[in-house]
Amino acid sequence: MGTRREISTLPPEADLARADSLAREIFSDIANKWAFLIIEFLGQRTMRFSELRDEVGGISHKMLTQNLRLLERNGLISRTVYPTVPPRVEYTLTEAGDALRGVVDGMCGWTQRYLRQIEASRAEYDA
């Protein structure tokens, strides 16, 4: 079945280490306002690029493109191209992306709530 199949036979320790570095990468990638907002809006319904741009508000074309690619690469959203003229492109949360919504809500709420305390703690620790 080729070398990729070997992944599922790796010992649990290797799985843990991979989950570890993957979690670090993904949560670092998505811990930004734009990714949070994109996940939130796509959680409501499938959207075209232009709809998403209107909903998110204040995001540049380039920044929206970058974030969508990043989310797509990590399997959090899927991108469907319809062969119309011009082509219609729609973005949808995948099952993994949808399951992430609750986690993102939690991250967002926690950060907003404890922002000042964390900053104060850092300033004190560094002093």
Provide the binding-site residues for a second copy, judged by CB under 8 A: 4, 7-8, 15-20, 22-24, 26-28, 31-33, 72-75, 95-96, 99-100, 102-103, 106-108, 110-123, 125-126
Minimum Å gap between C-beta 123 and a second copy is: 7
Residue 85: count other Cβ atoms within 10 Å of its Cβ.
Answer: 5
Q: Residue 21 or 84: which CB sits closer to a second copy?
A: 21
Rounded Cα distance between 12 and 9, Å, is 9
Minimum Å gap between C-beta 105 and a second copy is: 9
Q: Residue 48 or 113: which CB sits closer to a second copy?
A: 113
Rounded Cα distance between 101 and 42, Å, is 10
Residue recorded with tokens 């907002």: 37
- Is 77 in contact with 95 (CB distance < 8 Å)? no
Minimum Å gap between C-beta 112 and a second copy is: 6
